[in-house]
């Protein structure tokens, strides 16, 4: 079940990790990398295509956070990369960000990361979200896919 269908979770934002298909990690590699984050992170709803994860959910109850992650390839990715490169033409980047932008032109796949906040069942309150879990999960997925994290809301390369 997607977190979009779970009334305990409120959708917040979408983030991306763009990478080359040749570096697509196996489901086992993803599981091992996320296990390195500790027992605070639970991987569920794993949908596989042979040895690769097509989608999965990562929950971080202590952070009141969860993420649905989906693998995407094809024309949607190519269009997004062209758009991002076009948008960054007017921005001067240096150092690591300039390297990441150059790396984007070689990407042909991505993980869509839909970030959710768990709502307090007793009060119905949201506003308890700690984004640290999202950042750690993105860091691990970026590392194992040799990709570039992207926050479209802030136009930030991660």
The answer to whether the CB of 48 falls within 8 A of the CB of 54 is: yes
**pLDDT confidence band for 119 (50 / 70 / 90):** confident
Say whether pLDDT at 40 is over 70: yes
pLDDT at residue 73, as a whole number: 96
pLDDT at residue 44, as a whole number: 94
CB neighbour burial string for 127-156, b if at least 16 within 10 angstroms, e if fewer: eebeeebbebbbebbbebbebbbbbeeeee
The answer to whether the CB of 54 falls within 8 A of the CB of 73 is: no
State how far the Cα of 18 lies from the Cα of 48, in Å rounded to an integer: 19
Find the farthest-apart pair of alpha carbons in the chain and give their distance in angstroms, rounded: 48
Q: What is the DSSP letter of 131?
A: T
For residues 99 and 94, the model is more confident at 99
State how far the Cα of 105 lies from the Cα of 81, in Å rounded to an integer: 7
Determine the average pLDDT of the residues in 71-99. 88
Determine the average pLDDT of the residues in 64-86. 95
Q: Note the pTM of the prediction, 2 decimals.
A: 0.91
Q: Percent of the chain having pLDDT more than 90?
A: 70
State how far the Cα of 88 lies from the Cα of 84, in Å rounded to an integer: 6
- Comparing CA positions, the residue from 138, 135, 137 lying closest to residue 18 is 138
Q: Percent of the chain having pLDDT more than 70?
A: 95
């Amino acid at each position: 079940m997607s977190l979009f269908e779970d009334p305990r979770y409120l959708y917040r934002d979408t983030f991306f990790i763009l990478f080359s298909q040749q570096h697509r990690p196996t489901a086992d590699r993803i599981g091992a990398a996320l296990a390195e984050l500790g027992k605070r992170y639970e991987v569920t709803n794993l949908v596989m295509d042979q040895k690769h994860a097509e989608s999965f959910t990562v929950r971080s109850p202590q952070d009141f956070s969860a993420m649905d992650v989906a693998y995407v390839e094809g024309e949607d990715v190519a269009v997004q990369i062209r758009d991002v490169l076009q948008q960054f033409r007017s921005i001067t980047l240096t150092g690591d960000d300039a390297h990441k932008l150059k790396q984007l032109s070689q990407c042909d796949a991505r993980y869509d990361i839909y970030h959710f906040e768990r709502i307090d069942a007793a009060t119905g309150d949201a506003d308890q979200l700690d984004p640290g879990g999202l950042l750690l999960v993105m860091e691990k997925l970026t590392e194992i896919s040799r990709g570039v994290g992207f926050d479209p809301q802030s136009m930030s390369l991660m």
